[in-house]
Structures are given as C-alpha cells and as structure tokens.
Structure 1
Amino acid sequence: MKTLPLGKGHSILYIAAVAVVSSAIGVGLIFIGITAWVTHERAQQQTSQRLGELLGTVESTASIACFVEDQALARELARGLLKNSEALAVVIRSNSGELASARRSGVGEIALARAAEARIRRPIVSPFNSALTVGEILLDPDPEAVERTVIEEVRFIGILLWLLLAALVSVIAFVMLRQIVRPIQGLSLQLHRMDAAAGDRLAIGRVDPGAELGGLVADVNALADQLVASLDDERKLRIQREFDEKKYRAIFDNAETGIFIARRDGVVESRNPALARLFELPAYLSVDSAGISLLTLPWQQPSSLPELLARCVDENLTLAADLEFLHGDGNTRWLNVVLSPIGDERVQGVVSNVTERRQAEDSARHQAVTDPLTGIANRPGLEQQLQAEMQHCTSGSENGFAFLLIDLDGFKRINDALGLPVGDSILKAASSRILSCLKDSDIVARMGGDEFAAILPRIDDEALAASVGERIVRALRRSYDGHGTPIQLGASIGITLFPGDGADLPTLLRNAELALDRAKASGGGRFSFFDPAMAETAERRRTLETDMQLALRRNEFKLFLQPVVDLSGKRVVGAEALIRWQHHEKGLIVPDAFIPLAEETGLIVDIGLWCLEEACLRLAEWQREGRDLYLSLNISARQIPEGLPPAVVLDAVRRHGVDASRLVLEITEGVLLADVGRSQSWLRELRESGFRIYLDDFGTGYSSLSYLKRFPVDTVKIDKSFIRDLNRNENDRALVEAIIAMARSLRLQVVAEGVEDAEQLAQLRQMGCNYIQGYHFSMPVCSADFAAAAESIARSFLPENA
C-alpha cells in the first residue's frame, strides 16, 4: 500500500500546547482581574473601617469643640487626624458653620475629588445630650494609600498564580504528549504503512483498549475488515457478472423465444437465432447482420406492429399483443410480441409462438357457447347471436327476425321413466329435426333441459314464422326410438317477432316464454304467437305475487271456518279452516284466485305456516272456553315435507298448549302422488305424534282405493262433486254409498262435503254418513261468528226445528 506523507502544518502537540497556554493565560488574566477588584473593594472597606475607629477616638474632643465652638481646639484636632497616613483632608463643622479644615500639602484637585467620593461623615452629638447633634466631622480617605495596598496584594497573588499555571500547563503538556500525541503519531505512522488488503491491522500498543484511542484503533481495524470484505464481494460479483453474461449469452442464443433490439422504425439491431426461426428469416443472414425490418415481414395486419412500436416509444410503456403471422406454407401462426422501451427510441422485444394457446382459447370460447350434447349453441351462445342480430336490425342491415322458443311436451316423464341415455338420444334427435326444418342461415340453440330456441333472420312476417313453426311441430311429433321402444312426444312453440314483440333481449325472451306458456296451456303440440295481453296477464300475476308477499306482512289473510256437523250427536264437532284474503284495495279475494299462484311461486309455504299459527290460536281459545272441537288445515304438495316438517307442526301445538289430536291435516290424492315415499314418511311421523289425517276430495283421483291401503289416514272426505248431483244422478249415489260402505269396513270416518239442501242431508243420513259439511248448515264464517253459527246449528236439531 502506498504511504502518504504526514500532514503539513503544526503538529498536534503544538496545537494542543498553544490551546492550553492560551487557555491558562486567559484564565489567569480573568482571575487577576477579579482578584484586583475584590482586593480594591476590601481595601476600601478596611480603610473606611480604620478611619472610622480613628474618628471614634476623637469624638469626645470634637463634641466639646463643636459645643463651645472652639476653633483652636478644632484646628488642633484636624491636624491630629491628618497625621494618619490614610487621611487626606479633614473638615470640622458646628451647627453654626465650619470650625476648622485641613489637608495634606501637595495634593491636587483630582486627588481631592477622588477622595471626596469615599468621604466619611461622622455626626457629633452634645456632650450633655446624646440626642442633640452639635456638628460633624468630614474625613476624606487617601485613594493612593488604598491603591498601594491593592497593588501589593495583587502583585503577590499574581506571582503565585502564574507559577501555578506554569506548573499546570507543564504537567498537561507532558500528559498529552505521553498519553495522546505520541500514540496518535504512532497510529498515524502505522496507518501510512498499513496494507489492509494484505491483512495488516493497527497494533493497539500501550493504549488502553477501553479508552477512546483504543476504540479508534478497533474502529479503524473494523473498517479495514469491511474494506477487505467489500473487495472480496466486488471480486465475487465481478466473477458472477462474467458468469451471468456467459449464461445470458447462452440463453439468448439457445432460447426458443425470439429476442431482439430494434429501432422505432422496426429495423433490428440485435437478435437471437430463435427470432430468425419464428420469422423465417433467410439462413444466410448472420445473427449480427443489420438492416432486417420487422415492418416488412408478412403480418396478417401490417399496421398492428408499427402502431405497437410507436406507442411503446412515445408513451414509454411496456406493451404486448398477439399478432397473426403468415407462414410460408400459407398457414398462419400467432406470435405474442412484448415490447419494452430502453431509451434512445429503441425497444427490446420478446417474441413467442402462442398458436396453441390461441387455438385452445378459441376452442374454450366455442365450448362456452356450444351445447356439449347436441353440438348446437347453448343459452349464452344464443344470447350472443340474438344481440348480434338485434344490432344488425338496428343498424338498418335487416328489418327484423323471428325468435322461436321450443319445448318438448312430455319429455320429463319419458326421461324419468326410461333414464338419461334415452333422454339424451331424444334430445339429439330433436335438435337434428329442428335443424332440418331450417335454412343454413338460421340459428338453433338448446336453452337447457328439453327447451330449444331458433333465430330466423330476415323473417318479420307472422305467416312465414307460422309456416316454420308448423314444420317444426310436425317434425318433433314423429315417434322417437327409445332403444327399441317407440316414443311419441309433441312440441309447443312460442314465437316472437323483433322488434315488435321486444326491442331488447330480456323482453324478447320473456315474451317468447309467455307465448310458449300459452301454447302449452292450450294442450301442447302447437305454436302460439306473443300477444300483448299475455304480458298484461303476466304483469297481473307479478302484481298478485307482490301483493301476496305484502299481505303476509300486513296481516291481510284471514281464516274462515266452516262447521263440520255430527248428525248422530246433533252438534258441531269441528271446522275446516279456509283462507281468505282481505286485500287492502280489491276487498275479499277467494282462494282459487291466489292459491295456485302461491303454490307455483312457493309462497304457499309461508302462507301455510301462518295458517298453522292461526289454527293453533283458535284451538287454544276453544280449549280455554271448554269447547270440544277440532280444526282441519288443507296441506299443499309444496309443503311436504320441507315446507311443513312434522317437527314444526309439533312445536306449534306445544307452544300454544293445544292437544295434537285436535289439529287435523287434510291432504289430497294429488299431494300423495307427488312423492309417494316422502309423503308416507311425513304422514307416519305426524300420526305417531298424535295428529289426525283426512283424505280430502276422495274419489276424484286415479287410484283412491290404493291410497287408503298405503297411507295412514283417519277420515275420508267425499268430494262435493259427487254430493252435488246426489239427487239426480244414480251413478253419484252409488259411488257415495260405496265410499261410505268401504270406509265403514276399513273403520274410517266419512265427512260429506258440499251438502247444500235437506234432501241431500236425508240421503246421506240414510246411507250412514254421520259427518256433514256444507252450506245447508253454514257458510264459512269468520272466527268471531263461529260460536253463533255453532249455536244456530245446534238449535236446528231441536224438535220444533227438526
């Protein structure tokens, strides 16, 4: 390590000595100044004190002189006071005036003025009365005497102080030389000779390791260690950088991805071999050859790359794009080009072949809009096509189009009975038949399940759309092969025309569904055009649904009770709860106007829970009043089993303290037909909990007798349709007699519904039917009027009314 010359200028010892001596001189001067001032003040005080004592010795003489105003005695006294070396001038005064004055000879006016500043004034009292002042003595001290005393003392103290400071400075200089300067000079020499890279370090010598110099040595050695470590790290980084450059060059040359540096105008300044392969550059061009322009290559859209280059340079952004490149064999490939600005209007580019990814994305997009079973468009694909067709018509390219919504009648039944494979084959056949009825420009889609749709461009006439719809209905009506079993299905079609039946996608789809519902409601196997009245009907249904939801919160539903009469007991034994809706605007609404919609929308579940609570409240009230009555509730298929679980029913009667046997649940054959297995479990659990089960509308179903055997019921209720013509129709009379006889043999009770006159009542009594419900006894009444209705019925059995 090259040694550096010692620094020019004064040494540390010289600087330290000058600083110490200067400090000592300054301190000494300050101390002497303070000493002179203090000595001067003290000397003046001592002089004044001595002169005061002198005046005290002559005070009695002065008192006599002033009292008798003896001037001779006063002058003698004044001359005696001047004999004191510290007195400069004396004046003796009586009350009448000056008696005597004296001063030293040769004293100038300046000295007298200075002495007058320290004048001592002593009042003289009468020798006979100490309270009476007869004069005064004025004594001026000699300032030169004071100054001589001060000079002598200051000189002595100054000599001692300078000797002390000289000794102290010598000691400090010696200590600094030995303990600081020499060690620092030694460290300085070591530093100039030290080669840190060779491992040289400062020797601590006789320096205390815990002292500042010891810490300095340790810090210098630590810095040397850090320097060596930094040099090692730099060397390692240099080696690693060289290695990375070689590795990068290897990657650059062998990468499958094309890498290049190009100017804004597309001219390539540097590239790797992979770029030549991707762009099919001539083999004779070397890697370092210049003049290759990316803009002259066969791009499918030649303007895309120049725009990308310009944006990258102008906006200083890293940009990427997939560009289509024309291959030499006529095919195209997709290249992903990533450009990053590197300054000086140059970019670094990375090019990779993404043809397979783009093909996979195209395939995924195709699958996203294609039905996997039939190969035609799915619902999202249809909605895309509808949007595109609407845009064509809106822009004036076309006048309009027809939209068909197609549903296979009876498909669910066949699919459930024969299984999914047969159902899938039918769906494939149906899609093929629909395609065969349409032109190549028409679009067919499967909406889901057994629902299809078709778009007929440039057809805005009902006659043409009807012709296509009729062809599709006939094609789908032909029998299908269900794995050897011929299957007959039909089709219902709803047709809408754009833009007349809907100017936007949701409206067009909704109106097509309304038209489809009309076709299915008309028996199926036909098509139906959308009519604005359908939308009005749908709006009324929507309003009714909304009002039903509000009715629950507004407590607009009411339970009416129709009594059930025991003919043998001649009394009311119970009642059937019948719901009524007291609409806030429309008044009383009968169940047939809203219950079907409630079942369709699922609101019947909430309504059913409300009815259960109200029924339990009535039963609890009857129990408190001592009435032995039951109350029956009608149960919908939507309530079994999740909508009205047995645990909920049992919890309701327990909360209200009602005997479970007083709550009767009425079900119809249609409810049981919905799900036989779950219905059986639901009924069994309720029966085991003590509830009674009535089979309502008995005789109207397909297999009523089998239900009596399979389901645990307590009572059958004969449907009012049989009771209505009991007097006029022998078949109805025979059926009623058979039902009553069969129930009696099965130990079941029978309730006849819809009894409206005495003749019907008499025949039922003759047949052995003891429980009657109908207008003959009472219409459904509100809860408040039920007691009166029951009393009226009881009075009707009295002899005078029988």
Structure 2
Amino acid sequence: MRCPPKRNILSRAVWAMAGVTLLVGTLVIGITWVVTNHLAQQEANNRLGELLDTIEETVRIACFIEDAQLATEVARGLIRNSEVAAVSIRSLNQELGREERSGQLSQNSAAALRRDIYSPFDPTRRVGEIELQPNREALEQRTFRESLFVGLVLAAQLALLTLAVIFIVLRLIVAPIKAISDRLHLLKPTLGERLPAPPGHGGNEIGRLVDDINGLTEDLVAALEEEHSLRLRQAMDERKYRHIFENAESGIFVADGQGTLLSHNRSLARLSGQEERPGGMPPNLLALPWGQPEQTAALLRSCLESNSAQEDDLELALPDNPRWLHLSLTPIGDALVQGIASDITQRKLVETFAQRMTVTDLLTSLGNRMGLEQQIREMIILHPEQPFALLLINLDGFKRINDGQGFDVGNELLLMAANRLRNCIKGSDWLGRTSGDEFALLLPNVEGQEIPAKVAHRIVETLGLAYELGDTPAFVGSSVGIALYPEDGRELLTLLRNAELALDRVKRSGGRDYQFFHPSMAAAAENRRRLENELRLAAERQELRLFYQPIVDIQQNRLAGAEALIRWVHPQQGMVPPDDFIPVAEETGLIQEIGLWVLETACDQLQQWRREGREDLYLSINVSGSQIPHGLPPSAVMEALSRRSLPPGALVLEITEGVLMSDMKQALEWLQALRQVGIRIYLDDFGTGYSSLSYLKRFPVTTVKVDKSFVRDMGQDSSDRALVEAIVAMTRSLGLEVVAEGVENEAQLALLRSMGTRYGQGYHFSRPVPASDFPAVAERLETLLQAAPGTPG
C-alpha cells in the first residue's frame, strides 16, 4: 500500500524544511533589519560628532570674538553635508550664524546635536554653543540601502543552506526509510523473508533499525506460532475442563456480585439438595436454603470488595438432611467469582462430637472443667449484669473408697453421686464433674445467699446418705464452696479461685458442710502461700526445732520416754504452731523432707541421751499419712537407727486413724514391715475418728493414745470418763498399752491410775521443751515421781 503524495515522508520532509527555513529566515532578516538600522543611526551620530570635532576650534574663535561672518561661513560649510538639515552658532549674547536646508526643517523630527563652546584660552569658560540638526530623510535612505543589502545577502545564504539540508536529508535519511517502507510492505516473514539494509547503511542507525525490525518480526512470528499452539491447547483444555466441570464431586459455579449463577455443574445442585427440586437449581446462589443467608452474602461481598479469595463453612438447612458445605470463592474479574462447594457434613459431625467431648466428662456425661469455664464465660459475656452462683462440691472420703475398693467401685460411686446431684437441681442449672471427686454447679439468675444455701444444704444431706456398693453400704460426705457473681468476682479465674477458697475452708473445718466465700479467705490463702514459700527455706535456715514432752509410766512412777514435737521458730513471727504449717507441708510434699529430718534429729537425740546414761528412755515421732509408704520406708528407719547403734525399741512411730483409712493395704504392709524389725507403733488421737475395734485387731499397733479432749473433761463429764474407761478396758483386753494425753492436774492423774492407764503425758508433768532443757526437766520429774505415793520401792 502506497502513501498519498501529501502524506509520504518525502513530501512532508520538504514542506517541513521549507516552512522552517521561511520562519527562521523571516526572523533572522527582521532581527538583522532592526540591528542594522540601529547601527546605522549610531554611525550617523558618530559621523556628525566627528564633523563637529573638525570645526570646533574655528567656532571657539568665532564665539570668543563674536565674529558673525566667521560663524556664518562655518555654518554654510556644514550645511553642504547632505546629512545636516540645519546649523545654528550662538555666543552668550547673540546668534552669530544660522543656515538650514530649504524645505526640510519642518519635516525633520530627528533630535538635534548641541555642544557647548569654551574659550580657546580658558577651557572652563563657556563662550557659546553650536546646534546641529541631522537630516532625517538622508539618514533613513542610507540606512535602508544598507539594511536591504544585508537582508538580500542573508536570504541568499539561507536559501542555499536550505537546499543543501533538504538534499542531505532526502539522500541520507528519507530515501533509505522510504526504501525500507516499500520493501516492508512486500515482505513475507512467515516464509522466512527478512528485510535487507539499504546500501551504505549497514552500520549506522538505519542499519540498526532494519536489524530491530527483523528481530521484532522474528518475535512476532514466534508469538503467532505460540498463540496458535496455545489456542490448540486451550481447545483441548476446555474440552477436558468441561468434562471435569460436569463430573466433579465438588460443586463448581460462576456467579456475579448479586449471586446470580452464570454457570454451574450438576454436583452443585446435588450438594445443595436441589437435584429433586421441581424447578431445579435456583438461578441465584443466595436463594439456596442457607442456615444463615446473611453469612453467604457477606462472604460473596467480601470476596469482590477485597479482590482476594475467601472461604467459609456454611450450613444448608435442608428439611430431611441438614448439610454443611465448605464454600471457596475466588474473584475472576468483571465483578465475577468462581466458587467451589465441598461437602464437609461428616467432618462437621466429627468436629461437633469432638467439641462436645472436650467439654463433657466421659464417665458421668456431665460437663467437665473446660465446659464449666466455657459456661461461665458465656454467662458473663451474654448477661454481664445477671447474678449467678458457683458451687464447687467435693466428695469427702472418696479417695479412701476408690483406693481401698478399686476404681470400678469408685466409678460406680461417682455415677451414683452424679445422679443424686441431678435430682437436687433444676433443668436450667448447669452441672459438671471437674476433677476426680469434685463436681461444679451453676445456678443462673439467683441473687443473694438464700437459694444457694438451700441447694448446698440439700446436696450435703443427699450425698451423705448411704451408697449401696456391693454387699456393704458406704458413706461419703461432701463439702461445698460457694462464690456469687458479681459480688465475689466478675472474671472467670477470680470466681473459680474464690469458690475453691471457700471449698478449702469447709474441708479444713472437717467437711460435710458448705461455706460462702468471704474476702478474709483470700487473705488467709495469701498467708498460706507465703507460709509455703517460707517453709521451703525453713529447713535450710535451720528454723525447724524438735521439742520434747515427757511420757511418764504413771503405774510405776518413772520417766519412760518422750514425744518429739516439731516447732518452727520463724525469724519474724516467732513460734509457728504445727497445725499451721504441717498441713501446708503435706499438701506441697515438703513433709517428705521434713519427716526424714525429724527421724534423723530424733535418732541423734536418742544417741545423746544414751551417752548421758539414759538408755531406758524411748522417743516417739509423728508420721504423716503422706509419708507412707515411700516418704518414710522401713529401710530408712532401720538405717537411721543402725548408723547410731540404736535398738529398734528406742524409737516409736505415732500414726493417726486417718493414716489407716487412706490406703489400708499399703498402711498394713508398712506397719507389718516395721513391727517385724521391732519398732513399736502408737495409734494417736484415738477416739476422735472412726475408732473401730477392727482397726486395733487388724493393724499391728502396740499402744493407743487417748486424745486429750476426753482426758481434759472426764472430771466434769461422766460420758468422757466412761469413754476413757472403755478405751482403757478395751485396749487392755487386746493386750495393748494406753497413753493418756492432756494430763493437766493431779485429779486427772489419779483417775487415770485408778482405771489402769499405763502412761500419761501432759502439762501436769511438763510442757514440750527444747533438747537443752530436757535433762533438767527429766531430773525434776524423777525426783517428784520417786517421792510420789505408791512408787515401787
């Protein structure tokens, strides 16, 4: 295809250069004209100035002597110059001479040249002036001729330069480009043809342009071939995609921003339950029976607004078969999305079951600890101002039955307790089992203590009834700690902690009761925590001491031994009672370390007494249930005695009835191992616990210690006296000895002697004293006992 003459590069180049030349020439000539005029004017002024310089001396003389004739001759000489229009010479007093060119002065508007004339003898004395009027017409004619000549020369130069430039451009640029253009129209690149460079232009810009065109041609040919290949693959992929699209298990669709379905496969209709629908698949995605349609619409809107993939699990509320779909949306441009819907119903069922299991106790099917925390959080979040009560319920004595009779019996007991608790509450209450023997109860929308107190009282009574476990009924009590929302805490952890503090207070008070939280409990708990931390350091700092209280043979009036009683000498608080720190030691496990320290210290003391000649004295130490059997193994006891060459009979171990109740089998094995090596066992605080004869017959104890509470009041209370008499008679019939604790006066001592009690211990003989004071106490007692009536001689 050839370009029209007016549009081809040759014509346009010629016209363009001609136009540029005309424009530039006009500007140059105009500027030259102006400059030439200006220069000619300056030249004329210079010539007139030089003319004045020539005649200045003559004019000085004429003005000095006021010679009019001489002045007139000078003026006539000047007027003969064609560039002068008029001349006037004046002295200070008169005009000496004047000449002008006829007919031109009135038309001449050029500025006159004036020069002051000074005396030829005194250069500072002015004697006249000369005025010269230029001839404007003559000046302009001369300037015009000079400017015209310069302009014609410039125009001729520009014309020659333009023709030369046009020739060069046409020859070196336009003609090669036109040749390239003409050849390019006939080129067949798909047949391998390439554009040749014009002759003589192989290494310059036009040659590189040809190379670039050939390179671009090759790229275009390659791109066309690639496009053709892609079209073939696209056709194949489209057929393959269509097959996958129609037969995919997942639902696939394309929809616009309003949810209108532009295309979808059969699986979408099947998954959404619309396959059997009379009208088939609805035309809009949002018209499906979603459980929460606004969630689907929000997902679609978020995908388009953020221009990023979005996904979510959505429920379809189908009438017969509710279904969950995982919907994944991807923006594909033009305000459209591509979606994939996958059936995740089974996964959701498994997740729901797993979630339910995480908040459910498997044994009782009640809620568990996590369920309790979740329920409390929901109640606080959903109804922050609605009061409720939290009850923590602990089964007192469950561990004894679980350990003694086995896990199966323990589980059966827990199931029975759970059923009893269900019967104590309403359907709107929440009940759960939060640990092995602990339950939790939430009473929603209750204010004050009245209703929680009634429920707690009913629970304590109900759980305290007998449980038919096999052939033998079992009894367990219950302790209930209560915290009220929002009085006792507005946060989950605070509320749970306060309910646990109240429960702990009930358990420490003996159980089988309930307590409401009080702020003082938190302070007590903090003191207990501080006490625990300080107790850990007490042994290292040697703050623990053993005090010794004498045990007297009241039948033979002699000092038989002593009981070692641990004391804590605190650097700030002074003497800390054992009842304050021993329970803390048992809970934290420090009792193991403290128990071994007591054993070693007691054996050291026995060794010291024997060095002092008191081989007949024995020493008893108290053993906690937490030490049996691993905290104080019989081998450790024997090793401590043998290292000091002490006989087994020199040491007595005191245990309480609670030790026997915790794990009967373990306790029996431990006691038998000790008795086999000759160590005596005292049963302490007899009468305050279960006090069963079967324990005395079954366990190898050697001596029973009657609790001081019975001894203290037996002089005033006949029932306490009868109980002590019964205990003494019963133990003697079993071949056991009796130690009466809490002997405080002579009357109590006399009664105990009359009952046949063998040993006595109490303030009547001595308070517990440090080891350094014990020798003096022993000497005093021996002196008093020797002087007492009835002492064997």
Same fold by TM (over 0.5)?
A: yes
Matches within 5 A, 1:422-501: 423=413, 426-427=416-417, 429-435=419-425, 438=426, 441-448=428-435, 451-463=438-450, 494-501=481-488
Residue of structure 2 equivalent to 1:606: 593
What TM-score, normalized by structure 1, do the two folds share?
0.56
Residue of structure 1 equivalent to 2:342: 352
- Per-residue displacement from partner, 1:252-304 (whole Å, max 9, x unpaired)? 5433222456677767676543234335678999x9x9x97646655454555
Residue of structure 2 equivalent to 1:275: 268
Report which stretch shifted further, 609-618 or 541-550: 541-550
Displacement of 1:608 after TM fit?
1.8
Report which stretch shifted further, 720-729 or 656-665: 720-729
Gaps of 5+ in 2: 1-232
Confirm whether residue 653 of structure 1 aligns to residue 644 of structure 2.
Answer: no
Displacement of 1:636 after TM fit?
2.1
Matches within 5 A, 1:730-741: none
Displacement of 1:357 after TM fit?
2.1
The SS at the match of 2:619 is strand
- In 2: Cα distance, 1:302 partner to 1:269 partner: 20
- Per-residue displacement from partner, 1:714-735 (whole Å, max 9, x unpaired)? 4444554565567778887787
The SS at the match of 2:561 is strand
Equivalent residues of 2:479, 2:507 under 8 A apart: yes
Confirm whether residue 791 of structure 1 aligns to residue 782 of structure 2.
Answer: no
565, 570, 589: which one aligns with 1:583: 570
Query: Could you say if the C-alpha distance between residues 373 and 292 of structure 1 is closer, same or farther in structure 2, counting changes exceeding 3 Å?
Result: same
Residue of structure 2 equivalent to 1:695: 683
- In 1: Cα distance, 2:691 partner to 2:788 partner: 45
The SS at the match of 2:489 is coil
The SS at the match of 2:539 is helix
- In 1: Cα distance, 2:653 partner to 2:470 partner: 44
- In 2: Cα distance, 1:284 partner to 1:757 partner: 99
The SS at the match of 1:548 is helix
380, 401, 421: which one aligns with 2:388: 401
Confirm whether residue 672 of structure 1 aligns to residue 660 of structure 2.
Answer: yes
Residue of structure 2 equivalent to 1:640: 628
Query: Could you say if the C-alpha distance between residues 356 and 408 of structure 1 is closer, same or farther in structure 2, counting changes exceeding 3 Å?
Result: same
The SS at the match of 1:633 is strand
- Per-residue displacement from partner, 1:458-505 (whole Å, max 9, x unpaired)? 433445655666777788789999899999998765443321121111
The SS at the match of 2:342 is strand
- Per-residue displacement from partner, 1:89-138 (whole Å, max 9, x unpaired)? xxxxxxxxxxxxxxxxxxxxxxxxxxxxxxxxxxxxxxxxxxxxxxxxxx
Confirm whether residue 324 of structure 1 aligns to residue 315 of structure 2.
Answer: yes
Displacement of 1:688 after TM fit?
2.7
Equivalent residues of 2:634, 2:670 under 8 A apart: yes
Query: Could you say if the C-alpha distance between residues 643 and 243 of structure 1 is closer, same or farther in structure 2, counting changes exceeding 3 Å?
Result: farther
The SS at the match of 2:416 is helix
Displacement of 1:558 after TM fit?
0.9
Report which stretch shifted further, 402-411 or 687-696: 402-411
Equivalent residues of 2:714, 2:720 under 8 A apart: yes
- In 2: Cα distance, 1:785 partner to 1:280 partner: 93
- In 1: Cα distance, 2:394 partner to 2:694 partner: 34
Query: Could you say if the C-alpha distance between residues 246 and 649 of structure 1 is closer, same or farther in structure 2, counting changes exceeding 3 Å?
Result: farther
Q: What is the letter of the counterpart of residue 650 of structure 2? A: R
Confirm whether residue 505 of structure 1 aligns to residue 496 of structure 2.
Answer: no
Matches within 5 A, 1:509-658: 509-516=496-503, 528-565=515-552, 572-599=559-586, 602-625=589-612, 627-628=614-615, 629-655=617-643, 658=646
- Per-residue displacement from partner, 1:508-545 (whole Å, max 9, x unpaired)? 22333444566778887876543334444444444444
Displacement of 1:660 after TM fit?
3.8
- In 2: Cα distance, 1:267 partner to 1:365 partner: 36
Residue of structure 1 equivalent to 2:359: 369
The SS at the match of 1:652 is helix
Displacement of 1:782 after TM fit?
0.6
Matches within 5 A, 1:21-100: none
Query: Could you say if the C-alpha distance between residues 251 and 613 of structure 1 is closer, same or farther in structure 2, counting changes exceeding 3 Å?
Result: farther
How many residues in Structure 1 have an aligned counterpart in Structure 2?
554
The SS at the match of 2:447 is coil
Query: Could you say if the C-alpha distance between residues 334 and 577 of structure 1 is closer, same or farther in structure 2, counting changes exceeding 3 Å?
Result: same
Q: What is the letter of the counterpart of residue 390 of structure 1? A: I
The SS at the match of 1:554 is coil
Q: What is the letter of the counterpart of residue 320 of structure 1? A: E
- In 2: Cα distance, 1:420 partner to 1:576 partner: 38
Equivalent residues of 1:623, 1:658 under 8 A apart: no
CA RMSD of superposed structures (Å): 5.1
Q: What is the letter of the counterpart of residue 618 of structure 2? A: Y
Displacement of 1:791 after TM fit?
3.1
The SS at the match of 2:682 is strand
Query: Could you say if the C-alpha distance between residues 311 and 557 of structure 1 is closer, same or farther in structure 2, counting changes exceeding 3 Å?
Result: same
Matches within 5 A, 1:134-213: none
Query: Could you say if the C-alpha distance between residues 281 and 733 of structure 1 is closer, same or farther in structure 2, counting changes exceeding 3 Å?
Result: closer
Displacement of 1:682 after TM fit?
0.5
- In 1: Cα distance, 2:471 partner to 2:614 partner: 65
Equivalent residues of 1:378, 1:445 under 8 A apart: yes
Report which stretch shifted further, 550-559 or 315-324: 315-324
- In 1: Cα distance, 2:707 partner to 2:467 partner: 40
Report which stretch shifted further, 411-420 or 528-537: 411-420
- In 1: Cα distance, 2:305 partner to 2:682 partner: 85
Displacement of 1:577 after TM fit?
0.4
Displacement of 1:644 after TM fit?
1.7
Equivalent residues of 1:498, 1:508 under 8 A apart: yes
Residue of structure 2 equivalent to 1:381: 371
- Calculate percent identity across the aligned residue pairs: 52
- In 2: Cα distance, 1:467 partner to 1:783 partner: 53
Confirm whether residue 338 of structure 1 aligns to residue 331 of structure 2.
Answer: no
Equivalent residues of 1:401, 1:459 under 8 A apart: yes
Q: What is the letter of the counterpart of residue 554 of structure 1? A: R
Q: What is the letter of the counterpart of residue 793 of structure 1? A: L
Residue of structure 1 equivalent to 2:73: none
- In 2: Cα distance, 1:357 partner to 1:524 partner: 47
Q: What is the letter of the counterpart of residue 691 of structure 1? A: I
Equivalent residues of 2:400, 2:661 under 8 A apart: no
Displacement of 1:681 after TM fit?
1.0
Displacement of 1:709 after TM fit?
3.7
Equivalent residues of 1:426, 1:482 under 8 A apart: no
Query: Could you say if the C-alpha distance between residues 433 and 610 of structure 1 is closer, same or farther in structure 2, counting changes exceeding 3 Å?
Result: same
Confirm whether residue 257 of structure 1 aligns to residue 250 of structure 2.
Answer: yes
- In 2: Cα distance, 1:486 partner to 1:708 partner: 22
The SS at the match of 1:685 is helix
Displacement of 1:758 after TM fit?
5.2
Displacement of 1:594 after TM fit?
3.6
Displacement of 1:580 after TM fit?
1.3
The SS at the match of 2:488 is coil
Residue of structure 2 equivalent to 1:172: none
Equivalent residues of 1:637, 1:671 under 8 A apart: yes
Residue of structure 2 equivalent to 1:685: 673
Q: What is the letter of the counterpart of residue 311 of structure 2? A: A
Equivalent residues of 2:394, 2:480 under 8 A apart: yes
The SS at the match of 1:788 is helix
- Per-residue displacement from partner, 1:330-366 (whole Å, max 9, x unpaired)? 8653211234567888765432111232233223323
- Per-residue displacement from partner, 1:683-708 (whole Å, max 9, x unpaired)? 12122334333333456665565444
Equivalent residues of 2:479, 2:512 under 8 A apart: yes
